[in-house]
Amino acid sequence: MSQEVIKLVEQEYVKKEVPQFEVGDTVDVHTKILEGNKERIQIFTGTVIARNGIGAGQMFTVRRIVSGEGVERKFPLHSPRIDKVEVKRSGVVRRAKLYYLRDRVGKAVRLRERRRTSEAPAETAAAKE
């Protein structure tokens, strides 16, 4: 009974259009930042190393290297502060969590790129029209 009530309350806060991305993808997360009375968009670019949670509590972790230091940031997927999530490239991974990337440095952090052959012809056909 209580699970049904929680689901009903969560439905108000869940976004209708959820961005499609997976662990291993390199993404740009557009976050709304308040500075005084102004609002601007800040972009955090990195690799998705984890996704967890269900419903309105879904979170994803993005990792990037800044000045030789690893920086990770967790974002709530359904937050109104998240403007959009753009997928820049998809990586081939065999695990659900990529925490092992924390121990790697330099070129060892890179992931092989996933080739999307089924979508490419459709995109080029739409571009020509």
Model pLDDT for residues 70-119, shown as the tens digit of each residue:
899 999 999 889 999 999 999 899 999 999 989 888 888 888 888 877 66
CATH code for residues 2-128: 2.30.30.790
Q: What is the pLDDT of residue 4?
A: 86
> Tokens in use for 5?
């009530």
Band (pLDDT 50/70/90 cuts) for residue 126 is low
What is the CB-side half-sphere exposure of residue 56 using CA atoms within 13 A? 11
Q: How much is the pTM?
A: 0.79
- What's the burial of 82, exposed, middle or buried (CB within 10 Å: 0-12/13-18/19+)? middle
For the chain, which residues make up each domain, given as ranges? Answer: 2-128
pLDDT, one tens digit per residue, over 13-50 is: 888 888 888 999 999 999 999 999 999 999 999 999 99
Query: Are the beta carbons of 87 and 34 closer than 8 angstroms?
Result: no
